[in-house]
Amino acid sequence: MPEQLAFALEVTANGLMAGVLYALVALGFVLIYKASGIFNYAQGVMALFAALTLAGIIDGQVPFSHLINAVFGTDVHYFGWNAPAFLAILLTMVVMIGLAYAVQRLVFRHLVGQEPIILFMATIGLAYFLEGVGDLMWGSDIKSIDVGLPQGMNTWIDDSTFNTLGYGFFIDNLDIVASIIAALLVIILVMFAQYTKQGRAMRAVADDHQAALSVGVSLNFIWILVWSLAGFVALVAGIMWGTKSGVQFSLSLIALKALPVLMLGGFTSIPGAIVGGLIIGVGEKLFEFLIGAPFLGGATENWFAYMLALIFLVFRPQGLFGEKIIERV
């Protein structure tokens, strides 16, 4: 077995794992875009916010403690308890649902019927707002999340590949768990959309707002539901990325990683998000390994995904699985 090939295989495997995580973030985008036509740039910041809230609740931090201390001259920081991970996740989910409700009531309800670009700008505003609120609430220092997910190298894969190929693959346990959870999440979401009453209503809204309204679907409720689902996906993504590399501002930048995934897969397709995520994950890792690092000076991961998506789109403007764009005068 040539060593280069073994390396390339390992890189591919890691790329697949990373791709699953990208797909996870992209899913949140697709959900909201399908149901309300809003391109939610704030998805990444929602993941950051969820992870910050989770970390804050586990540590028993007092929300807005810095602000309170600055205004009233007090000195409070911690409640003095540590919440169990499960309870904290539930509480964070409650916060995310509250957030979904607030976003729908205070922002997007007032913007119904505006052009898509205005809605997009509003989500950028929302992203800034949430980022600021998250930092004010929980402080901007780097936090770590530990909800009991396994971490470190998977020794079984290492051993078995070493025995068969003569070279042990390094694959993080966390990545494996993340992939499994992401796959489960996708199955659950698809089942929810296909087989439940609310899921059907959601698809109806995605298809045609007015027709859905006329058969008695509550748009308000569906939109809150969709934003809550996106919040849930954000929470899962936040836990994964937060466990992997700590909760900090850069977490919100995963949204930027998810954008080319969306372009490649199509904004309106859940399977597209998955396939796009895998292609981009493998593609950028392999490109960096084969061409980027040896010939171009490295760090090509920053732009490769975008270039790939860009070139791809020139040939197929709606992405892999997106609905065909039909334009009429």
Partner 1 sequence: MFYREAGDFSTSYPEDSQTFPIKFDRYRYYLVLFIAIVVIPFFINDYWVNSLFLPFLIYAIAAIGLNILVGYCGQVSLGTGGFMAVGAYACYKLMTSFPDVSMVILVLLSGLITALVGVIFGLPSLRIKGFYLAVATLAAQFFLVWLFNRVPWFYNYSASGQISAPERTFFGIEITGPNTQAWATYLFCLMFVIASAYVARNLTRGSMGRKWMAIRDMDIAAEIIGVNPLRAKLTAFAVSSFFIGISGALFFAIYLGAVEVGEVFGIQKSFLVLFMIIIGGLGSIFGSFAGAAFLVLLPVALKIVGVDWLDWPTDIVAHLQLVIVGGLIIVFLIAEPHGLAQLWRVAKEKLRLWPFPH
Span near partner 1 by CB under 8 A; candidates 65-73, 224-232, 237-245, 275-283: 65-73
Question: Cβ neighbours of residue 199 under 8 Å, at least 6 residues apart?
Answer: 191, 192, 193
Distance of alpha carbon 11 from alpha carbon 281, whole angstroms: 10
Smaller CB distance to partner 1: residue 169 or 267? Answer: 267
CB of 74 to partner 1, least distance (A): 14
CB of 114 to partner 1, least distance (A): 6
Distance of alpha carbon 262 from alpha carbon 259, whole angstroms: 5
Distance of alpha carbon 249 from alpha carbon 261, whole angstroms: 21
Smaller CB distance to partner 1: residue 123 or 243? Answer: 123
Span near partner 1 by CB under 8 A; candidates 18-26, 109-117, 185-193, 207-215: 109-117
Interface with partner 1, residue 317, by CB under 8 A:
yes
Smaller CB distance to partner 1: residue 73 or 216? Answer: 73
Distance of alpha carbon 326 from alpha carbon 35, whole angstroms: 19
Interface with partner 1, residue 296, by CB under 8 A:
yes
| Per-residue mark of binding to partner 1, 242-271 (x: CB under 8 A) | --------------x--xx-xx---x----
Contact indicator for 284, 15 with CB cutoff of 8 Å: yes
CB of 116 to partner 1, least distance (A): 7
Contact indicator for 124, 40 with CB cutoff of 8 Å: no
Binding partner 1 (rule: CB under 8 A), the pick from 132, 150, 166, 294 is 132
> Number of residues in contact with partner 1, rule: CB under 8 A?
54
Interface with partner 1, residue 74, by CB under 8 A:
no
Dihedral sign for Cα atoms in the order 55, 83, 101, 188: positive
Interface with partner 1, residue 117, by CB under 8 A:
yes
Interface with partner 1, residue 172, by CB under 8 A:
no
Contact indicator for 280, 308 with CB cutoff of 8 Å: yes
Counting every residue, how long is the chain? 329
Q: Supply the DSSP symbol for 147.
A: S
Distance of alpha carbon 222 from alpha carbon 35, whole angstroms: 8
Interface with partner 1, residue 124, by CB under 8 A:
yes
Question: Cβ neighbours of residue 283 under 8 Å, at least 6 residues apart?
Answer: 15, 304, 305, 308
Interface with partner 1, residue 118, by CB under 8 A:
yes
Smaller CB distance to partner 1: residue 212 or 259? Answer: 259
Interface with partner 1, residue 129, by CB under 8 A:
yes
Alpha helices in 218-269 (DSSP H): 219-245, 254-265
* Site residues, partner 1 (CB under 8 A): 39, 66-67, 70-71, 107, 110-111, 114, 116-118, 120-122, 124-133, 135-136, 140, 256, 259-260, 262-263, 267, 296-300, 302-303, 306-307, 309-310, 313-314, 317-319, 325, 327-329
